[in-house]
Amino acid sequence: MTDERVPIELRVEALEQLLVERGLIDSAVMDKYIAMYETDVGPLNGAQVVAKAWTDPDYKERLLSDGTAAVAELGFKGPQGEHIVVLENTPAVHNVVVCTLCSCYPWPLLGLPPSWYKDPAYRARMVREPRAVLAEMGLRLPDDVEVRVWDSSSEVRYFVLPSRPAGTEGLSEEQLVPLVTRDAMVGVAQVTP
């Protein structure tokens, strides 16, 4: 029985120590995988794509016409990164992504899918009542904004190009990257300055 009062970090550390002591895992290998997901695979990659699209109109055009090729230009490709379709949020249209069958997700751009993305309730409800689910997640959209729900699959993975927030016009691509969140690239949040 676990003590729920023990922070998750301590429980993970204890589990790792047991696995290392028993020779089931190698700490150096685990550190390598963790570093890979922190620096090479993850939301930072997607944020770089978004920031480039916001600052380079030619890149944005390529991104919207062939997402797979455009993200590959920045070095982001691989398993779960084939067939990327980019959906642009505008003042009139808000796109949100779900995978109703499992959890198809653009890993090279967003890293590992969050637990809520894989949750059957999210997968079912987002299709039926997207505004209610978005509101529960903290995103309230005006009634005149059309919400479009896109169902990712093994054939196509959708990626949301969030609207660039007002007041960021003078920021460089590097300054914009930290503003972009994974949730905004899934469509359950907006980017705020």
Active site residue 65: no
List 27, 65, 102, 172, catalytic entry:
102
List 99, 153, 154, 163, catalytic entry:
99
List 103, 115, 153, 172, catalytic entry:
103
pLDDT in tens, the chain (193 residues): 455 556 777 887 888 888 888 988 888 887 777 777 666 667 889 999 999 999 999 999 999 999 999 999 999 876 666 789 999 999 999 999 999 987 788 878 888 888 899 999 999 999 999 999 999 999 999 999 999 999 998 889 999 999 999 999 999 999 999 999 999 999 999 999 8
Active site residue 103: yes
The torsion defined by the Cα of 122, 125, 131 and 135, in degrees rounded to 10, comes to -40
Active site residue 153: no
Active site residue 104: yes
